[in-house]
A and B are shown apart, each in its own frame.
Chain A
Amino acid sequence: EIVMTQSPATLSVSPGERATLSCRASQSVSSNLAWYQQKPGQAPRLLIFGASTRATGIPARFGGSGSGTEFTLTISSLQSEDFAVYYCQQYNNWPRTFGQGTKVEIK
Chain B
Amino acid sequence: EVQLLESGGGLVQPGGSLRLSCAASGFTFSNYAMGWVRQAPGKGLECVSAISGGGGSTYYADSVKGRFIISRDSSKNTLYLQMSSLRAEDTAVYYCAKAPYSSSPDWFDSWGQGTLVTVSS
> A98 to B45, Cβ gap below 8 A?
yes
Q: Is B50 an interface residue (CB 8 A)?
A: yes
> A46 to B61, Cβ gap below 8 A?
no
Q: Is B53 an interface residue (CB 8 A)?
A: no
6 A-B contact pairs sorted by A residue (CB < 8 Å): A44-B108, A49-B107, A95-B59, A96-B50, A97-B47, A98-B45
Bound: A1/B106 CA distance, A: 15
- If A44-B95, A87-B45, A101-B44 touch, whether A94 touches B59 (CB-CB below 8 Å) is yes
A42, A46, A96, A101: the one contacting B47 at CB < 8 Å is A96
Which B residue's beta carbon lies closest to that of A48? Answer: B107
> A43 to B62, Cβ gap below 8 A?
no
B interface: dominant SS: loop
Which B residue's beta carbon lies closest to that of A55? Answer: B109
> A98 to B100, Cβ gap below 8 A?
no
Q: Interface size for chain B: under 10, 10 to 19, 20 to 34, or 35 or more residues?
A: 20 to 34
Q: Is A66 an interface residue (CB 8 A)?
A: no
Chain A contacts for B46, CB-based, 8 A: 98
Q: Is A32 an interface residue (CB 8 A)?
A: yes
Chain B contacts for A34, CB-based, 8 A: 106-108
A32, A56, A89: the one contacting B45 at CB < 8 Å is A89
Q: How far is the CB of A53 from chain B (nearest CB, A)?
A: 10
> A96 to B105, Cβ gap below 8 A?
yes
Q: How far is the CB of B95 from chain A (nearest CB, A)?
A: 6
> B59 to A100, Cβ gap below 8 A?
no
Chain B contacts for A94, CB-based, 8 A: 59
Chain A contacts for B104, CB-based, 8 A: 91
B44, B61, B62, B110: the one contacting A99 at CB < 8 Å is B44
Chain A contacts for B37, CB-based, 8 A: 44
Bound: A95/B106 CA distance, A: 10
Q: Is A39 an interface residue (CB 8 A)?
A: no
CB contact list, A52-97 vs B, under 8 A = 55-56, 87, 89, 91, 94-97
- Across chains A and B, which 10 residue pairs bring their CB atoms closest together, nearest first? A34-B107, A43-B111, A91-B106, A96-B47, A98-B45, A49-B107, A95-B61, A100-B44, A46-B109, A101-B44
Chain A contacts for B105, CB-based, 8 A: 91, 96
